Structure 1
């Protein structure tokens, strides 16, 4: 069953109208315009991804009421929040730097929210104690923020946000302040807590792994607009912009498909296993590229390009070569292979990719 919303003059599903988040966030400034539509059902975790300056943090601040909308709408569980002040919204926020009160214990930091919502001091502290226990921090209830590790502070901030029972939880780069070892553990804990959260959660992150692990759906923003959204696996397999391709570690090209060949808008054709017609993307991972110093004669690869090494950098336990020439691309190879090929900036190489290692899809 659907209802007609007079504001849109179109059918609005009950799930969007009655429960969860239904927003169109329009924020105009002198040199920037954000125009992003977001919907999510209770229990959904949505990650906003995008390069610096794309508008992710502006969107998060608009949801929190910290940046006023200049257009659009914001509804949560069917209620309009357009004119609701930040402190009156059923919204919890975990800021990037956590912003814990330095003079309060972990217990009193968490109790602050319930106190602001009218709970007595004893009841607020009892609620806070339950939340800290749930976060595995019962033994740190009396500790002030400076005595907490980064992971512990992050969990206190999350408990403080959840203690008010928000219908929308906002997380701004929730793992950015953590070192690599702590990040792995806290990411797993945060995933568990978000899985138990019964309302909508929206997180902003620059880290594709955080987004892939924590979110049910990714929304990619560039220049204030959504360029792609969907399940993490779908976006990782079918990126539609260079930014997304780099984020998930793929070489991405756009051209016109004619059967098993995609002829690029600027460059050669790429042979693929898919049979397509019309505008298409073609992608393949840097690890699918094999490099030779001389033109190979016995290779079965259908794709062969003459390139030049523009740069080399360590990428995990491998070397990533940045190549220019007939087809600009990134190639991953072992340190031993790079040494055997005597790779260096300016060196000429031949790059091959098997058709079976490419993936073509409609643009």
Structure 2
């Protein structure tokens, strides 16, 4: 089995590996069109074996609907679904080579951990002894050998998650679907289980698709991110590329950046709504401009002798604790978010409605083609 680094190198860039799935017939090649009332999902997914793709998006965007369509739990209104070259559109859920780990795990409460994991192989025709031997092997891999006889109510959240993953993997699926697999865990358990899940996904040689609302889960677990908004893909790429080049407000908020769109004329970007921003990049035409909240310096009065080319008059629309700092949401000439220490906020006398001046150095902005 391959380690995480080997798998990452084999996958390569998101665009190249996705195209390869369609050409070779290996992996997942799908266009999922689902209609539910006024909502319409239309998403294309191409994923190579050994690749982990995370579906990200706001609530109601359609990411869970996409996962259910892949599992056969949601009928397609149009499109196609091919896995390793085989069409699955008309294949019932129980006959698909698909393993699913649900958000609430859905372990059978009356069965032991061992028999929960053995359930899938038994359904595939394995004898009771064969299924139990395979289940014991998987529980051992998950570090749960001593809990084989425990029923779900006696397992911790982290243990239950690993039993659910073992149950999904014991059937040797060609497609592994994970629906918010860490959402039910507390913060401390989540850290440990996330690391374990990453190791297991690194060794998984088929296709894995993960749905999550947590950007850290996505960044740690996935090779490629597919961002869905209003039923459509708005951006996809490696975690690093998405973090550096967000293209929607949702993604910018997710990765903690201020994002604006405008037209560049060399080092000046005229925003679609708002003032101009000076950048260090020399560009022409439609662009995005970003800068982190930590790049913003606030002043109680208009500063003199400040080198920042970007200076705007704003008002505090709200404040909240953000880690060990205060995040101020500002309205005015340029709506933006600014991070500052509690001491700095106190010295400025910040409160909702307070007027401030916000400055950002051109060297702390980043512009790229839209």
1:272 corresponding residue in structure 2: 279
Conserved in 2, the CA contact under 8 Å of 1:16 and 1:39?
Answer: no
Unaligned stretches of 5+ residues in structure 1: 1-11
2:249 pairs with one of 242, 247, 251: 242
The Cα of 1:18 is off from its aligned counterpart by: 2.0
Distance 2:60 2:331 in 1: 28
1:202 pairs with one of 197, 209, 213: 209
1:324 corresponding residue in structure 2: 331
1:120 corresponding residue in structure 2: 127
Conserved in 2, the CA contact under 8 Å of 1:16 and 1:22?
Answer: no
2:200 pairs with one of 184, 193, 196: 193
2:50 corresponding residue in structure 1: 43
1:260 pairs with one of 267, 278, 290: 267
**Paired residue secondary structure (2:353):** coil
**Paired residue secondary structure (1:255):** strand
The Cα of 1:14 is off from its aligned counterpart by: 6.8
1:172-223 CA-to-partner distances (Å, cap 9, x unmatched) read 0000000111111110100000000000000000000000000000000000
1:133 pairs with one of 131, 134, 140: 140
Distance 2:153 2:283 in 1: 59
The Cα of 1:13 is off from its aligned counterpart by: 5.1
Within the alignment, does 1:84 sit opposite 2:91 as a pair?
A: yes
2:15 corresponding residue in structure 1: none
Distance 2:355 2:299 in 1: 9
Distance 2:287 2:195 in 1: 37
Unaligned stretches of 5+ residues in structure 2: 1-18
TM-score (norm 1): 0.96
Within the alignment, does 1:63 sit opposite 2:74 as a pair?
A: no
1:80-110 CA-to-partner distances (Å, cap 9, x unmatched) read 0010000000000000000001111111100
Distance 1:29 1:319 in 2: 41
Conserved in 2, the CA contact under 8 Å of 1:187 and 1:210?
Answer: yes
Conserved in 2, the CA contact under 8 Å of 1:16 and 1:40?
Answer: no
Distance 2:153 2:294 in 1: 44
TM-score (norm 2): 0.94
1:110–1:14 CA distance, 2 compared to 1 (3 A): closer
Within the alignment, does 1:166 sit opposite 2:173 as a pair?
A: yes
1:225 corresponding residue in structure 2: 232
1:14–1:163 CA distance, 2 compared to 1 (3 A): closer
1:283–1:188 CA distance, 2 compared to 1 (3 A): same
Distance 1:205 1:65 in 2: 19
Distance 1:233 1:282 in 2: 17
- Aligned CA RMSD, in angstroms, stands at 0.9
1:80–1:162 CA distance, 2 compared to 1 (3 A): same
Distance 1:15 1:189 in 2: 31
Conserved in 2, the CA contact under 8 Å of 1:306 and 1:348?
Answer: yes
Distance 2:110 2:303 in 1: 68
The Cα of 1:15 is off from its aligned counterpart by: 5.8
The Cα of 1:29 is off from its aligned counterpart by: 2.4
Conserved in 2, the CA contact under 8 Å of 1:16 and 1:41?
Answer: no
1:174–1:14 CA distance, 2 compared to 1 (3 A): closer
Distance 2:20 2:60 in 1: 33
Distance 1:281 1:14 in 2: 31
2:11 corresponding residue in structure 1: none
